[in-house]
Amino acid sequence: MRNPAYDILFQPMQIGPLTAKNRFYQVPHCNGGGYRDPTAVAAMRGIKAEGGWGVIFTEQTEMHHTSEITPFIEQRLWDDADIPALRRMSEAMKTRGALAGIQLAYSGINGPNLYTKEVPLAPTALPIRTFTNDPVQARALDKTDIRDLRRWFVNAAKRSKLAGFDLICLYGAHGFGIFQHFLSRATNQRTDEYGGSLENRSRFVNEVIADMRDAVGDTMGITLRVSLDEHIGTLGFSNAELREFIEMNADLPDLWDLAHGTWEDCSGPSRFKDEAAQETLVTGIRELSSKPVVGVGRFTSPDVMARLVRQGVLDFIGCARPSIADPFLPKKIEEGRIEDIRECIGCNICITGDMTMSISRCTQNPTFMEEWRKGWHPETMNPKGESSNVLVVGSGPAGLEAARALSLRGYDVALAEAGTTLGGRVARERLLPGLSAWGRVVDYRQYQLSQRANVETYFDSRLSAADVLEFGFENICLATGSHWRADGVARQHVTAVPADPAMPVYTPDDIMAGKRPTGEVVLFDDDHYYMGGVIAELLAKEGCKVTLITPCAYVSDWTRNTLEQGAIHRRLVDAGVTIRLNTGLASVAAEGVETVDVYTDARARLGCDAVVMVTSRVSDDALYRDLMARRDDWADAGIRSVKVIGDAAAPAPIAWATYAGHRYARELDMPDIGDALPFRREVTALA
Ligand SMILES: Cc1cc2nc3c(=O)[nH]c(=O)nc-3n(C[C@H](O)[C@H](O)[C@H](O)COP(=O)(O)O)c2cc1C
Ligand code: SF4
């Protein structure tokens, strides 16, 4: 039963000529599938419809071939040929009464046009601003170009209608959409009637919306996603100027979609941004216009959502990541199943799928983007196979997810944990600075397991092969994790770094176990994800003088994909960490380390009292190997299968572990598919 305090979230609300059934609004988000995997993306949106969202949007959709963001593979609406794929998407969105929205993006100063080879067009001729600093500049739109661009928007609006959408979102936030480029003095330095005063800078968006209203406004809602603050002072489009703009154009769109000026700010990870982090920037804007307002802020708490609507801060609760982690979030609130919400942990792994142009993953929801590819549903498992029980060894993210999903399938599950707490690496890592929200990976699963009668958990159970053979379980799932190496082996060194044993060397496991170096510490990061930066921050805050050396050109290099690399660098500098980039570790001596410049091979001595190696991990797979060595004994012991998963198979981020656990549970007792591809895909049709 729904808590009446949340009734307000289920009130219908009008957007232009249409009415949304509730206040749950899935704002545009990409998924690493884009135009390459249309049916996979459509199925993912269809699941959100099932989960109860009132409004569901596509990701940004390139609305004309003169502005595209290759190598990223966002959706396209370049001509009629793109309509069928988008219609599949809108139909999936509308299955349960949600409004289907398409976000139209003209990328302007953000589109290098690497694929179409067209000259980029922008309000002002400046270098293209992309993650990859493409050596390309834009030509300033002249009056004819502006007329053309207005027509292209109308064409795109008509095609959106033909593709079955109810709403159009014009993209003008995150630094990505042309409306922001016109509004901001930083990217609009024109001296004609489209530049200068705010009124002039607002002209283009006014013209486009007027054109679109004439074309489709009687049947479609037109929303404007606009930057809350570019955070570059008065040169950029500031929060104060946004308020002025909205006051000046109060009735312009059918809804104001408020999102930060940069993507890094808007989708900031939990390490740097709390829930509702944009509240101050949004508060008061609703009073400036009669049109409804949607805002974002990694909302997972229904109390926060209801408060924001009740206080008149927002009309719609915008969610990207929370809708990925739990597509059934609205339904669970509606059914009073708050404890069942799989809360987003704010790790931004979902964004890495887009940044690497692969296919997105979600740490909390392993079924994300597998709804069609593998037929995985986030709430429902496939029926149980012919065996009846499973021993899961290890309660880290892989083991916990395997146990949860297996129990849902109907297996009797015994979960054996060597220690005294559930969670494995997550139980340790959640205690590191900024990572407490990651503990939700454990909390969600721990609660779910506590609700299942067919799962038994055993602590202090470090098992040998003999124990396992004695127990008589049919299926053995080994999720025994991994540990960090102390010998420096990773990418720079594929064999151990020469080291004098007189120098104390620590690993992340040591630090997480409470051991501490003192004095001057050299941290060697050849892992390049978050761990090096997090431990440097921890030790510096505890009083060590930390020098972080890395062979990479960036601190925590891979976190450029989670949009937090800049924030990590800033935080380390603030904490007093000395950062030495492009610097490898040549050897460890008794009184310090020898460093090596990765380009020139120049060597230097760096004195220190201790070294922390954040390099790579070794699978803890001894039990798996022992059991494989005793394969001949399996039949007598009643064992049908033994499988190693997660970090015990090959160390990787937590999202890989929850995926592995889920996959194990899905595939147990399933027919062997031999050499067949284990997922569906769409292959480009030949012309
Ligand atoms: C994986 C991912 C892809 C995104 N892609 C888009 C996009 O295509 N267009 C857009 O306007 N915003 C995009 N965003 C930003 C979100 O719409 C949203 O503004 C931001 O993530 C903050 O909301 P949240 O805290 O609910 O995630 C994306 C966010 C994520 C996590
Ligand atoms: S990958 Fe991480 S940030 Fe993205 S939705 Fe899932 S839990 Fe949230």
**Residue nearest atom 8 of ligand 2, based on CA coordinates:** 344
Average pLDDT over residues 450-460: 98
State if residue 369 touches ligand 2 by the CB under 6 angstroms criterion.
no
Question: Atom of ligand 2 at shortest distance to CA of 365?
Answer: 6
CA dihedral 177, 178, 179, 182 (to 10 degrees): 140
State if residue 296 touches ligand 1 by the CB under 6 angstroms criterion.
yes
State if residue 592 touches ligand 1 by the CB under 6 angstroms criterion.
no
* Nearest residue to 212 (alpha-carbon basis) of 154, 162, 150, 291: 154
Are 448 and 426 within 8 A, CB to CB? no
String of b and e for 399-413 (b: at least 16 CB within 10 Å)?
bbbbbbbbbbbebbb
End-to-end Cα separation, the chain, in angstroms: 54
Are 23 and 11 within 8 A, CB to CB? yes
The pLDDT of residue 430: 98
**Residue nearest atom 21 of ligand 1, based on CA coordinates:** 267
Tell me the pLDDT tens digit for each residue of 618-641.
999 999 999 999 999 999 999 999
* Nearest residue to 363 (alpha-carbon basis) of 37, 660, 68: 660
CB atoms within 10 A of CB 636: 8
Tell me the pLDDT tens digit for each residue of 639-657.
999 999 999 999 999 999 9
Name residue, tokens 């027509």. 151
Query: Amino acid identity of 431?
Result: L
**Mutation probe of ligand 2 site: the residue of 343, 345, 435, 436 with most atoms within 8 A of C-beta:** 345
Name residue, tokens 């949607």. 294
State if residue 325 touches ligand 2 by the CB under 6 angstroms criterion.
yes
State if residue 273 touches ligand 1 by the CB under 6 angstroms criterion.
no
* Nearest residue to 177 (alpha-carbon basis) of 345, 330, 61, 18: 61
The pLDDT of residue 1: 85
Are 160 and 224 within 8 A, CB to CB? no
Question: Atom of ligand 1 at shortest distance to CA of 299?
Answer: 26
The pLDDT of residue 454: 98
Tell me the pLDDT tens digit for each residue of 254-289.
999 999 989 999 999 999 999 999 999 999 999 999
Average pLDDT over residues 545-568: 98
Nearest ligand, CA 326: 2
State if residue 646 touches ligand 2 by the CB under 6 angstroms criterion.
no
Nearest ligand, CA 104: 1
State if residue 324 touches ligand 2 by the CB under 6 angstroms criterion.
yes
Q: How far apart are CA 281 and CA 284, in angstroms?
A: 8
State if residue 28 touches ligand 1 by the CB under 6 angstroms criterion.
yes
**Residue nearest atom 1 of ligand 2, based on CA coordinates:** 362
Query: Amino acid identity of 381?
Result: M
* pLDDT at 138 exceeding the cut of 90: yes
Indicate the pLDDT class of residue 484, thresholds 50, 70 and 90.
very high
**Dihedrals phi, psi of 227, to nearest 5 degrees:** -70, 130
Query: SS3 sequence, 306-355?
Result: HHHHHCCCCCEEEECHHHHHCCCHHHHHHCCCHHHCCCCCCCCHHHHHHH
The pLDDT of residue 230: 94
Give 324 Cα–ligand 2 centroid separation in angstroms.
7
**Dihedrals phi, psi of 259, to nearest 5 degrees:** -145, 155
- Report the percent of the chain where pLDDT is more than 90: 98
Give 365 Cα–ligand 2 centroid separation in angstroms.
8
Nearest ligand, CA 258: 1
**Mutation probe of ligand 1 site: the residue of 30, 326, 355 with most atoms within 8 A of C-beta:** 30
Q: Which helix (H) or strand (E) segment is 207 a member of?
A: helix 203-216
Are 550 and 525 within 8 A, CB to CB? yes
Distance of CA 424 to the CA centre of its chain: 22
The pLDDT of residue 233: 84
* pLDDT at 27 exceeding the cut of 90: yes
Average pLDDT over residues 402-410: 98
The pLDDT of residue 341: 98
The pLDDT of residue 125: 98
Question: Atom of ligand 2 at shortest distance to CA of 320?
Answer: 5
* pLDDT at 349 exceeding the cut of 90: yes
